Structures are given as structure tokens and as C-alpha cells.
Amino acid sequence: QKMKKALNLSHLRKEYQNGKLDIESVHADPIEQFRTWLHEAISSEIEEPTAMFLATVGVDLQPAARIVLLKHVDEKGFDFFTNYESRKGQQIHENPQVAATFFWKELERQVRIEGWAEKLPPDDSDRYFASRPVESRFGAAASPQSQVIFGREFLENKITELKQKHPDNDVPRPEHWGGYRIKPARIEFWQGRENRLHDRIVYTSTPEKWIIERIAP
């Protein structure tokens, strides 16, 4: 059998020249710095600026990662919503330590967050669930996320049953679905620079304040 030729990516290069980042110019509060960058990402009209790469690790120590959408950020942390019985939900239950990354390639920026996740209060999850499009609410209620199913027909039948049960479309939030808040302990802001001398500013949480440091690229 003829061996396949290995794909060589070593020749690919990209120069970063769009911005810079230094300790003197960043906010003392990393949440405010993040809000500034997020606003600039949204204003730049790049695709999915709220998409974050979420990594979790359960008791088996096998990391798992996926994209989720940031739905709210404030001084308390970064909020997203999911199925509590999904693989990510099970891993967070076993080990609340998580990491998340935002990557805005058009701006040559990324933000890396490390901390722990905790469930949002039920009222917060109720409010967000009620704000979702009705078909998304039915979908969330019908899907046993991450579990094995035997064909798409299973989901379609579940949604049909739910719509018959709730003809007014007022499907309530299922107990297995809701929000998490990532409470950050470390936040890194990365700005691409020329010659691979990228700017990296790290905020580390202490009981008194955030410590801000520059680290090597």
C-alpha cells in the first residue's frame, strides 16, 4: 500500500501588526479590560465574537473541550448556559475547575480564562430560558444532550410530544438545563505582534486585588 505523504505546515507564516498591549495601558480590572475588547470585537462585526472555547476535566482526568456562547459578563464572572446532564455538566459537577478561551483572529487577539464554574441561581436561568426563541426552548427540553440516541427521529418525536403537551408554546425550563458562571482566578490577554514577540498581560486574583504582569511570548 502506498504511504500517504505527510502534510507539512512548517512553511505557514503570519505577521501580526494590528495592535499592541502593555501594563500601562490596560485596565486595573480584567473584567473591564475584557469588556473593552469584547465591545471592539462586536463593533468590528467579526463572526461569533461571544464564542468561547470551554475546557473541562472530570474525575477520569480526560480533558474535553467545545465551543459555547458567552451570554453575560460582569464583576461576578462569565455566564453561559447548557444541559446540566451533558458531558460538560457532568465534568463540572465532578471538578468545577475550568478554562475558557476567546479568539478574535481578525483583531489578532485572544483571552484565556482559568477559574471554576458554579451553577447560576434558578431565577437567572429561568429568565434567560424564557428569552430564547420558542423552538430553541423546545429543543433544549427535548434533547438528552451527550447521550446516545438512535436517529434524529427520536428528537423530532420528543419535540412533537412537548408541543402537544404545551400547545400555548409556554414550555417551562427543564430542571436539567440552566446556566453556569465561570469565576476567574487568572485571565490572560494576548495581542499578536510582529516577529512572534507577542504581547501577553496576565491578571492573577488575590484576596486583596488583581496582580498584573507581563509574561514572555
Catalytic residues: 196
Beta bridge partners of 69: 51
Report the candidate in 152, 183, 217, 169 with the shortest Cα–Cα distance to residue 74: 183
111 near 51, Cβ under 8 Å?
no
Say how many Å lie between the first and final Cα of the chain, rounded.
43
How far is the C-alpha of 94 from the C-alpha of 46, rounded, in Å? Answer: 35
SS3 call for 125: helix
101 near 113, Cβ under 8 Å?
yes
* Matching residue, cell 471592539: 40
